[in-house]
Chain A
Amino acid sequence: MIDEGLKSELSKQGIFTTTFNELIEWGYNKGRANSVWPLQFGLACCAIEMIAASMARYDIARFGSEVFRPSPRQADLMIVAGTVTKKMAPQVVRLYNQMPEPKYVIAMGACAISGGPFKQGYNVLKGIDRYIPVDVHIPGCPPRPEALLHALMTLQKKIEEQHLTGPQQARHLNPEAPSEFPVPEYGEHDLVPPKNEAVWQPPKQAKDDTQGNV
């Protein structure tokens, strides 16, 4: 292994050094990042923006993601575009479970990340990250197509930085890491369980707004 300092010094002199592993990793990740095929499904108005992003004006094809797959078995990316109702949540988790690894999730819009304007309703899930791991959250109601493209670029950067070996190994290469998550069941009053504790836990820091913003 070449020392990082020497490597940087050499690159200043115009000498490019790399290892075989790094080269493989770079090529493999570059290839994956530039052909992220999303799963074709939309849940609400965010889906309209997602469709707009796929059309000529915003043209998601520039990022290699124009192939919206109608089957989860051919998709790499799940764009959760819209309100996830509690009746729909088990189906979303089931679709995620059916996607092959490596798979990624973008939660698009206020509803998908937190329940949005409906979060105090009895029938809306307060964020899809309660059941499946989310890689990129996009705020907005709905987010503009540019925001979706930005999220895609963020995801591409994340994919390019993943490691194939070593302690920083990507999640999908670790046989210990789960690739399927329990599908919640319809209960008498709510989904059972209401959240997957292994995936989502409320932030430790307490937010008690008693200082007068009531």
Chain B
Amino acid sequence: MSDIADRVKKIVVEHLGVEEDKVVESASFIDDLGADSLDTVELVMAFEEEFGIEIPDDAAETIQTVGDAVTFIKGAV
């Protein structure tokens, strides 16, 4: 389980170029980690690829924080 969280964090750090200690569960991609709307699309694409899942648009919209992503992916894999 924590493996998923670690992989999510790694992707976020790589894509957004932020410090690892800022990527906490409650961190909002846009408000806390400086992502723009296109970054969030890219993150979703990266999650889909990393975990071999499909994240539909309406689900993608609900993924606002690192924790949201981890929760969604845990339910999808």
Real binding pair: no
